[in-house]
Amino acid sequence: MKIIRRHEFLKLPRGIVFGQGKPWYFDGWSIKGESSGNDFYCTPLDWTQFESHSSADMMDKADTLLSTSASVPMLWDADQRDGLFDDEHIYCVLEQSDIDSLIAVLQKANGI
């Protein structure tokens, strides 16, 4: 992994797995989407996203899932704007070897 500043991060292509933060902590993991000026899109991996029509619909479905133990497929390609415009943010960017290690850990977790 490497740690970079925002101006370097915005130049990276979509598909990068990263954590965003300030020295020396990082909040969650996301997949970088396209950069747009001093902003970018990303798909957070630490927020439960599933098909819904609105925030209220998502909350209602989550309540139903909790009360019925039903399941729905997760959405892993739901981009959202970062919108923080914080030039003090730094980014922990995973490299291919980190991704390979993470995949191995996830496969063990699910008994694959």
Q: Which residues of the chain have pLDDT under 70?
A: 112
Q: Which domain holds residue 89?
A: 2-49+78-109
Interacting residues of 97 by C-beta distance below 8 A, sequence separation 6+: none
Count of structural domains, the chain: 1
Query: Is the residue at 100 inside a domain?
Result: yes
Q: Judge contact between 18 and 98, C-beta under 8 A.
A: no
Report if residue 54 sits inside a domain: no
Residue 7 lies in a domain: yes
Question: Does 15 fall in a domain?
Answer: yes
* pLDDT at site 34: 95
- Integer Cα distance of 38 and 56 in angstroms: 30
What angle (nearest 5°) sits at the alpha carbon of residue 84, between those of residues 87 and 25? 65
Q: At 60, give phi and psi (nearest 5°).
A: -60, -45
Query: How high is the pLDDT of residue 87?
Result: 92
- pLDDT value at residue 112: 63
In this structure, what is the dihedral angle of CA atoms 84, 93, 7, 41, given to the nearest 10 degrees?
-40
Distance from C-alpha of 53 to C-alpha of 27, rounded to nearest angstrom? 27
pLDDT at 73: 87
Residue matched to tokens 């957070």 = 44
Q: What is the pTM of this model?
A: 0.81
